[in-house]
Amino acid sequence: MYINSLYLQNFRNIKNANISFSPNLNVLVGNNGMGKTNVLESIYFLSIGKSPRAVKDIECINFEESNAKLGLEFIRNKTPRKINLNLFKNQKKTLLLDNMPLKKLSDIVGHFGSVYFSPIELQIISGAPTLRRRFIDIINCQLSPQYMDELFKYQRAIKQRNNYLKAHKTNEYNTELESWDIQIASLCASLTKRRQVFIERLNGVAKEIHKNITNNIEQIDIKYISCIDDIKDASFDEIKTQFLQKMKQNFEKDRVLEYTSFGCHNDDIDVKLQYLKDNQVIKTINIKKSGSQGQQRTSVLSMKLAELEILKDEYDEPPVLLLDDVLGELDKDRQNALLNYCKNFQTIITCTEWKYKIDAKIFEINNGVITLKQ
């Protein structure tokens, strides 16, 4: 699939823009703070109905305005499609697919797919677990509306349970808490199962890509780390029961902390690097602890490219690749590996300077005003 055009009104510092993209490579050049990331953010927003960086939608509306409009025309399966999103300061956002209003946010899933890659993602391995959880959640939201629904329900339930703990300062595990925990345990079990299955899939794809990038010298091995044990062969009910028991056991701690300290909102992934000789593993290291910065970056690249491949597989068409200032962070070999990959996807790259001699449609951005350069 590819984007034909993007329309933005009052989206952050972009007052008005109508951009016609090439189905191949597009480059958006501009100095710092001009609005490059804002453009990519708006496109990603239209994939999942949420910003990849804003905590609240309202942050995306221009400071001086009370609403923002985003419109995307794209081609999917040779057919023109359209997504429109309206953001309001005092009202719920509205989403339209081919001019038809969508009832819930997750109805957007499965129509327009994109992969967003920025320097923050380069820290998926070296950085905090939040980054790794966001990585897993964001892909799964693009893969499954059920996942998105469950994740939102789970986040809401945890927030309400935390509010309850704060407001009531209850000393006893009561029926109200138990009813929260039954709901939370069920959502936790489902999300955990889905994540574990997804990580197995990601591992298979990323392993092959990583071997390719490193000429069969290294491979990676990704595992889901759940807050409960032995999830691999456990059924949904077994996992749910374990969660419920642990939540009850944790009540005393939560009561003191006044927040929910146990649950899949604390899960993580573990990435190992395996050295290969004649296709056999000869040594394994923990990349986060012992990998070089270069090895960590190559591993992230393999994971992001695997995300791209998985979405392509799921959508039956290549998703759009959004590269936000990421090339400058990579060395020559990794830049080439990434640029080589771009050939198979519509790609939009942002940078402060474009120095490559590759065919591309080039735009300039200056204080939110976008002009076609070449």
Q: Site residues (CB under 6 A) for ligand ATP?
A: 12-13, 30, 32-38, 59, 61-63, 325, 352
CA dist 362 and 349 (Å) reads 10
CB-count exposure of residue 64 (10 Å: 0-12, 13-18, 19+): exposed
63, interface contact from ligand ATP, Mg ion, none, CB < 5-8 Å by kind: ligand ATP
364, interface contact from ligand ATP, Mg ion, none, CB < 5-8 Å by kind: none
Site membership for Mg ion, residue 142 (CB under 5 A): no
316, interface contact from Mg ion, ligand ATP, none, CB < 5-8 Å by kind: none
13, interface contact from Mg ion, ligand ATP, none, CB < 5-8 Å by kind: ligand ATP
Nearer of residues 140 and 350 to Mg ion, judged by Cβ: 350
Q: How far is the CB of 41 from ligand ATP (least distance, A)?
A: 7
Instruction: Locate 276 and state its tokens.
Output: 């290969």
Closest CA to 371 of 23, 25, 30: 30
Nearer of residues 34 and 348 to ligand ATP, judged by Cβ: 34
Site membership for Mg ion, residue 37 (CB under 5 A): yes
203, interface contact from Mg ion, ligand ATP, none, CB < 5-8 Å by kind: none
Q: How far is the CB of 19 from ligand ATP (least distance, A)?
A: 14
Nearer of residues 155 and 367 to ligand ATP, judged by Cβ: 367
The two counts, helices (H) then strands (E), for the chain are 9, 15
Nearer of residues 56 and 169 to ligand ATP, judged by Cβ: 56
Alpha helices in the chain (DSSP H): 36-48, 129-143, 145-168, 175-213, 236-249, 251-257, 287-290, 293-315, 332-342
Nearer of residues 27 and 188 to ligand ATP, judged by Cβ: 27
DSSP string, 314-339: HHTS--EEEEES-GGGS-HHHHHHHH
Nearer of residues 116 and 180 to Mg ion, judged by Cβ: 116
298, interface contact from ligand ATP, Mg ion, none, CB < 5-8 Å by kind: none
33, interface contact from Mg ion, ligand ATP, none, CB < 5-8 Å by kind: ligand ATP
CA dist 294 and 38 (Å) reads 28
* Strands lying side by side in the sheet with 67-76: 14-20, 2-11, 67-76, 79-88, 94-97, 100-101
Nearer of residues 108 and 326 to Mg ion, judged by Cβ: 326
Q: How far is the CB of 6 from Mg ion (least distance, A)?
A: 17
Partners of residue 85 on adjacent β-strands: 70, 95
Q: How far is the CB of 329 from ligand ATP (least distance, A)?
A: 12
| Residue closest to Mg ion, measured at CB | 37
Q: How far is the CB of 41 from Mg ion (least distance, A)?
A: 9
Answer for the pair 327, 336: CB distance below 8 angstroms, yes or no: no
Answer for the pair 225, 269: CB distance below 8 angstroms, yes or no: yes
Classify each residue of 356-374 as buried b or exposed e, where b means 16 or more C-beta atoms within 10 Å of its C-beta.
eeeebbbbbbeebebeeee
Which residues form the interface with Mg ion (CB under 5 A)? 36-37
